[in-house]
Homo-oligomer: A and B are copies of this chain.
Amino acid sequence: MKHIPIAHILSGQHTEQSVTVCGLVRTCRQSKHITFIAINDGSCFESLQIISELPADQTADISTGTALRCHGHVVPSPGTGQQWELQAQSIEITGEAPESYPLQKKRHSLEFLRGLPHLRPRSNTFNAVFRLRSSLSHAIHRYFADLGFHWVQTPIITANDCEGAGEQFRVTTLPAGDTHMEQDFFGRPASLTVSGQLEGEAFATALGRIYTFGPTFRSENSNTSRHLAEFWMVEPEVAFADLDDIMALAEDFVQSMVRHVCDTFAAELAFFEQHMEKGLLQKLQQTTAGSFARITYTQAIEILLEAPRSFTFPVAWGVDLQSEHERYLCEEHFQKPVFVTDYPKQIKAFYMKLNDDGTTVRAMDLLLPGIGEIIGGSQREDDIHVLQQRMEEIGLDMESMDWYLELRRYGNQPHAGFGLGLERLLQYVTGVHNIRDVIPFPRAPKLI
């Protein structure tokens, strides 16, 4: 890898030096004696301008999408739009882009590019989205590492059913039609995890502060712009923490990540502001400017009942908040991110700590403008009797879940945690409307 990343050249590290650069041609313009080539190598959003005065036959086959290796001299650019450019001494074409190449120079719709997941990262938009996704993912790891959290890689294949719900993919080695479970790889039903939380709790009670960051799965038959069958979740879990602790962590975490994106991706955000969401920059600045609103579910219901508008889904204490309700709260009423806490136990998971009122649980959802729920979390039930009763109520298999009860039986500790969907955070910071456009190879019903 003797070639130099274009990001280094554009940051002035190789001025007046001879270097080799490699990448894909974004545009190529031939004039009488000079060819202007813009080349991108994925090291940054910007392309490098190559000026070629080589014999015309050496550049005749260069077009948008051509891959090439170019040796040349880095000089200050007399033109506008870039500070440095490369005067080509030799150009080697490693791969042409024939006329059938689907990503020609013109602007393509995101829908069109979605059909080409292997090629779309070569486009401007997806180049920006996926570099931002990588950087944000790195920032997530750094954030937790700096706070002394241990990353726990919880299992993907599981025999648990975390939410007590049924929307799980089965994992098997039996051929379709074969029902001899005892001959299956694990000898018992296995599925893809919907959350690493339960295993994460086990590690939090040993290592104090942990988080998971990995793929999770829902076989929900939702063909929407907000749902994926495979997506990435971040799930911190903290021993000796309560709901307030975890809300403070969630707020600081989200604000830190937004700040990271604003500090690191100025060019990309300007592009997204122009092409994806007007007002994106202002929204992100507001997100980091002050603290988030905090209301209870009961207060949320009161606000919604008093709202000067009607909703498609009726509002009453006890109903689950719908997307329209969540968005009213954060987009219209508070006009900023909102934590809603203390939901009725009936609409929340069994492991959430029951309040003294006996009807609500120490749960919190974080709602973001334009997105709705991005985080769900709770203090966990640490009263083994209450927990056991809740598990029986929803019909969990108590024997296979006894290990989870043992976390309370032995060295019991209050603890709390939350889960954040990476893709929804990416939608929030990029303004990209469809969740399928922020993950490399989206999975959804009939989409693989």
A interface, CB within 8 angstroms of B: 1, 3, 5, 7, 22-25, 41-43, 65-67, 69, 94-98, 100-103, 117-119, 121-122, 126-127, 130-131, 133-135, 137-138, 141, 145, 148, 150-159, 169-174, 176-179, 181, 185-188, 190, 192, 199, 202-203, 205-210, 214-215, 217, 219, 221, 229-230, 232, 238-241, 245, 249, 382, 403-404, 406-414, 439-441, 443, 445-448
Contacts and interface: CB of A to CB of B under 8 A. Distances in A.
| Nearest 6 A/B pairs, CB to CB | A95-B412, A42-B207, A121-B206, A42-B208, A118-B202, A134-B150
Contacts of A98: 409-410
A186 B446 contact: yes
B121 A439 contact: no
Contacts of A447: 186
21 contacts: A22-B413, A67-B413, A94-B413, A95-B410, A100-B409, A103-B410, A119-B202, A119-B206, A121-B202, A122-B205, A131-B150, A153-B215, A154-B440, A156-B217, A157-B443, A169-B173, A186-B443, A186-B446, A186-B448, A187-B446, A190-B448
A432 to B, nearest CB: 16
Contacts of A95: 382, 408, 410-413
A245 B440 contact: no
A148 B190 contact: no
B171 A169 contact: yes
A185 B445 contact: yes
User: How many copies of this kind of chain does the complex include?
Assistant: 2
A75 to B, nearest CB: 23
B209 A42 contact: yes
Contacts of A214: 214-215
A238 B25 CA distance: 18
Nearest to A245: B1
A5 B145 CA distance: 14
Given A97-B410, A118-B406, A206 B24 contact: yes
B157 A410 contact: no
A243 to B, nearest CB: 12
Contacts of A382: 94-95
A316 B137 CA distance: 47
A239 B3 CA distance: 10
Contacts of A158: 448
Nearest to A447: B186
Contact of A410 (B101, B190, B209, B441): B101
Contacts of A187: 446
A441 B154 contact: yes
